[in-house]
Structure 1
Amino acid sequence: MTPEVSVVIPVYNEGEGIIACLERILREVTLPAEVLVVHDTMDDSTIPFAAKVAATDDRVRTVHNTYGRGPANAIRFGIHAARGKVAVVTMADGSDDPRQIDELARLVDRGVVVAAASRYMPGGQQVGGPRFKGMLSRWAGRSLRILARVGTRDATNSFKAYSTEFARNVGIESRTGFSIGLELTAKAHRLRLPVAEIPTIWLDRTLGESRFDLAGFLPAYLRWYRFAFGPRLTMEQLKNRRPPEAIVRQPGSKENLKEKVGK
């Protein structure tokens, strides 16, 4: 059965911790779904533990990212590999609420191209995490909503659902950090396509260490922040301005799409 939702989880040496993450997702997601555990290398410590879960639930697949290392490439590869009409990106560290995956996916099914889980709208909250990073994120989200009217108060949050058709049409240019969420939100806004949000409570990870490099990732965020303030674009104009490597291959393409399935 073709899944309606593809849950994309970028991982890096999560080890046994991935089991609890996957169990929560499999328990809470009620829509027909696949869960893609996207890893950069074949010796990633996540793989054997994800394979144990996959052995008992065929919704789980381990997918080898061949686009290059890092979270942006893993997310990009996962969205490209998705078989569902909706791709939901979530983290392996337990910071996102898996109960909201269905709700985000249903918003896309109703016609929005980006559905954001928002920490900064009424009912949302951020619990823990670096204070300076949170302050920058909140300021960026608030200014983008008020000044650029992008449709969400939390454009920088990675926990989002996307129309896979939209993502493939506009292309994904991000190669650094977690800026894909901001990139696709900004592109949807420039195209005047619908963006929606629901409140979420984000919890700082309790296992492992964060690999978020604020100084290293900031230039990519600033690029897409500025991009959001530009005039309306047509799809043709957007496609003409993107680099060739941003073009998305369709699922099943022999080019740039090699999957490793763990059972």
Structure 2
Amino acid sequence: MRPRVSIVIPVYDEGEAILPCMERILRDVLLPSEILLVHDTPDDSTVPYAEKIAVTDSRVRPVLNTYGPGPANAIRFGIDAAQAPVTVVTMADGCDDPRQIDELARLVERGVVVAAASRYMPGGQQVGGPRLKRFLSRWAGRSLYLFTRVGTRDATNSFKAYDTEFVRSVGIESRAGFEIGLELTAKASRVRRPVAEIPTIWLDRQLGESHFDLGRFLPSYLRWYRFAYGRRLTMEQLAARKEHRDRQQPIATPTLEQIH
């Protein structure tokens, strides 16, 4: 049976810490789904645990990212490998609430191209995390919501659901880190496609160490923050932008052997 939602989780040396995260996702996601645990190298410490889970639950698929190292490439690979019409991106750190994956997916099924889990709308909250990162994220989200009408107060949050075909049509240009959520929200806004949000409570990770490097990823966030303020575009213009980029940087689509 074809899944209704593909859940893409980039992993990087999560080790045993992946187990409680996966336990919650497998318990709380009720829609027919596939879960792609995307790792950069075969010797990633997450792989043995991911393979063990996959033996007991056919929804889980550890997949090797061949697009290049880093979270942006892992997410791009996962979305290209997704088999469902809806793709949800969530993190392996347990900060996101997996009970909301079904709700986000259903919003996309109803017609939005991006459904965001928002920490900054009424009912949402962020608990813990670096203070500067919280400030910049909140400021970016609120200013974009007020001045560009992007449809969410939390454009920078990675926890989002996407119309898979929309993402493949407009392409993903991000190569650095976790700015993909902002990129796709900004692109949806520029082509006037619907974006929706639901409140979420984000809890700082309890196990393992964060791999988010604000200094390294900030320039990429600023690029897409500025992009969101541009004039209206058509889908054809975004598609042409994607085709031009693909000619310059051709990347093979994941094969079935890589996915399984």
| TM-score, length of structure 2 as denominator length | 0.96
- Contact 2:81/2:259, CA 8 A, preserved across alignment: no
1:66-119 CA distance string (max 9 Å, x none): 000000000110011000110000000100000000000000000000000000
1:182-234 CA distance string (max 9 Å, x none): 00000000000000000000001111111111111011101100110111111
**Could you say which residue in structure 1 is the equivalent of 2:180?**
180
- Contact 1:171/1:247, CA 8 A, preserved across alignment: no
- Contact 1:172/1:246, CA 8 A, preserved across alignment: no
**Could you say which residue in structure 2 is the equivalent of 1:125?**
125
- Contact 1:80/1:248, CA 8 A, preserved across alignment: no
User: Which segment is superposed worse, 211-220 or 127-136?
Assistant: 211-220
**Could you say which residue in structure 2 is the equivalent of 1:136?**
136
Shift of the 234–159 alpha-carbon distance from structure 1 to 2, 3 Å rule, reads same
Written as runs of structure 1 = structure 2, the 5 A alignment for 1:1-80 is 1-80=1-80
* Distance in 1 (alpha carbons) for counterparts of 2:129 and 2:21: 19
**Could you say which residue in structure 2 is the equivalent of 1:244?**
245
Identity, % of aligned positions? 73
The CA deviation at 1:245 is 2.9
Secondary structure of 1:16's match? Answer: helix
The CA deviation at 1:260 is 4.1
**Could you say which residue in structure 2 is the equivalent of 1:85?**
85
Q: Which amino acid aligns with 1:244?
A: R
Aligned pair 1:153/2:156, yes or no? no
The CA deviation at 1:237 is 1.1
User: Structure 2 residue aligned with 1:257, among 247, 251, 254?
Assistant: 254
- Contact 1:172/1:248, CA 8 A, preserved across alignment: no
| TM-score, length of structure 1 as denominator length | 0.95
Aligned length in residues: 258
Unpaired runs of 5+ in structure 1?
Answer: none
Aligned pair 1:110/2:110, yes or no? yes
* Distance in 1 (alpha carbons) for counterparts of 2:200 and 2:23: 20
* Distance in 1 (alpha carbons) for counterparts of 2:153 and 2:104: 15
Q: Which amino acid aligns with 2:254?
A: L
Q: Which amino acid aligns with 2:208?
A: G
Alignment root-mean-square deviation, CA? 1.7
Q: Which amino acid aligns with 1:75?
A: I
Secondary structure of 1:112's match? Answer: coil
The CA deviation at 1:240 is 2.2
